[in-house]
Amino acid sequence: MKIICGSGVCKMSGMKSFFAQKIVGLGLVVMIAVIALLGWAILGSTVNPVPKNMPIALVAADKGAEIPGRGKVNIGDTLREKLTAAQTPTGEPSPFEWTVLDDEREASDGLDRQQYYAAIVLPENLSTAFVSFMSPNPQAAGVKVLINQGKSGVAASMVTQAVGKMIEGINNQLREQALGQIQQAPGSGVSFAQAKALAAPLTVSFEVVHPIMPNTANGNTPVVLTQLAWMAALAASALLYAAGSKLRAARRWTVVCSQLAAGAVYAAVAAGAELLLAGGLFGLDIPDWTNTYLFLLLAVFCFFLLQSAILAWIGLKGMPVLVLLFFFGLPILSLPPEFLPATTRDWLYSWIPFRFSVEGLRDLIYFRQGLNVGSPAAVLGWIGAVSAVLMAASVAKRGDGARGATGIGRTAG
């Protein structure tokens, strides 16, 4: 049968048929869902980060001092009470979780082990210096703040500003207290030296430990390398899965072992290529190439095993899961966990595999003592081992001796 129609009628009929399809209307819903999902992933955890319970060490070493005729005072105890209060001098909830120590060496060890974002040291002579305000030769009371910049550049900036404001508020209170003490003394006039010292009863010196050096992507080198490692592993796992899919007559065990061997080679090449490109071509500062390469090799291979295990069990349908995991994990990698909402921290950050790669690389790049690399390396190792077992178990998923969940007997699509 031959259908004759005018061009305008045919065009209208074609457009009507096009828009009558359910998939066209469904596309709007899918588009909005994608925007909402990725928007939540990219902005949901980072649009308004509010720090909570950031671990800070306080070394309360002040021995106190005697005020003639008035007994003993301990300004260190007063400062400890004010610093560790549940609220800041401005009335806001304190963002810090304090650990009070007696020795600066203990605090320094905690900074090396990434236990604290900062340490505030109240020296032994703090009260002695405060009492000297009532003498003709007053001495400034010094407080030292150690900022653990390598643990997080974002947190380091925040802690520096917050501690500065807290000390400023305490300075005002100490100034009033010192003036009251001076006025009660015989001949209560305030000398020029006393007035100068009272301008800032506490002098604060900030010292950066484990600094973020130039050419380290503003402290994000571990994050950058981890992102590249995940994407390199994703490409390797997809390609090797496709390669296994083409071997219809091969034994499944042979394919799994081949994928494992090829994945190890891919990981070794990917780790080397990352460092050569990032360090050699783009000038990223890599202090310890050997240990960084070995850890990056472990990370890439474990990522590959995890991704391959997912593909082995659910096929290429697992690719969106791996991509979404990357998009959800990407925004939170650069923030300290204390800046994340509780839901993100407990349900995503606590188990996401990127976290352990970032932690290990951070130790190698900024701390360089090997104190914090063992635990994340062990976790990555367990992730890789369990994933390898799951890959092996996928061999028995189907009974057909020539087919399996490794992709054998199925097309790459």
Q: Which amino acid is at 224?
A: V
Closest CA to 311 of 364, 224, 222, 245: 245
8 A C-beta contact, residue 364 and residue 295: yes
At 145 the pLDDT is 93
pLDDT at 357: 96
- Cβ contacts of residue 101 below 8 Å, gap of 6+? 57, 58, 59, 60, 107, 110, 119
The predicted structure's pLDDT at residue 137: 75
Q: What is the pLDDT of residue 89?
A: 65
pLDDT at 410: 44
Among left, alpha and beta (phi > 0; psi -120 to 50; other), residue 265 is alpha
pLDDT exceeds cutoff 70 at 197: no
4-8, 68-72, 155-159: which has the minimum mean pLDDT?
Answer: 4-8
pLDDT band at 412 (very low <50, low <70, confident <90, very high): very low
- pLDDT band at residue 274 using 50, 70 and 90 as cut-offs: very high
pLDDT of res. 404: 41
pLDDT, position 199? 64
199 vs 92, which has greater pLDDT? 92
**Domain ranges in the chain?**
54-183+193-209, 217-396
* CA atoms of 63 and 308, how far apart (whole Å): 60
pLDDT band at 35 (very low <50, low <70, confident <90, very high): confident
Q: Which of 138-147, 285-294, 327-336 is modeled with the greatest confidence?
A: 285-294
The string of pLDDT tens digits covering residues 348-379 is 888 899 999 999 999 999 998 889 999 999 99
* Percent of the chain's residues with pLDDT above 70: 81
| Nearest of 164, 179, 85, 88 to residue 130 by alpha carbon | 179
Cβ(412)–Cβ(246) below 8 Å? yes
Please give the average per-residue pLDDT across 247-259, as a whole number: 78
Domain 54-183+193-209 has CATH 3.10.180.10: no
Mean pLDDT, rounded, for 62-89: 79
Q: Distance (Å, rounded) from C-alpha 143 to C-alpha 210?
A: 20
Residue 223 one-letter amino acid: V
Query: How does DSSP classify residue 369?
Result: S
Radius of gyration of the chain (CA): 31
pLDDT of residue 372: 92
Confidence (pLDDT) at 190: 60
Tell me what the pLDDT averaged over the chain comes to. Answer: 82
Q: Please, which residues bridge with residue 119 across strands?
A: 57, 146
Q: Kindly state the average pLDDT of the residues 13-37.
A: 75
Which helix (H) or strand (E) segment is 101 a member of? Answer: strand 96-101
Higher pLDDT, 266 or 47: 266
Please state the rounded mean pLDDT for residues 197-201: 66
Residue pair 73/116 in contact by the 8 Å Cβ criterion: no
More confident residue, 289 or 282: 289
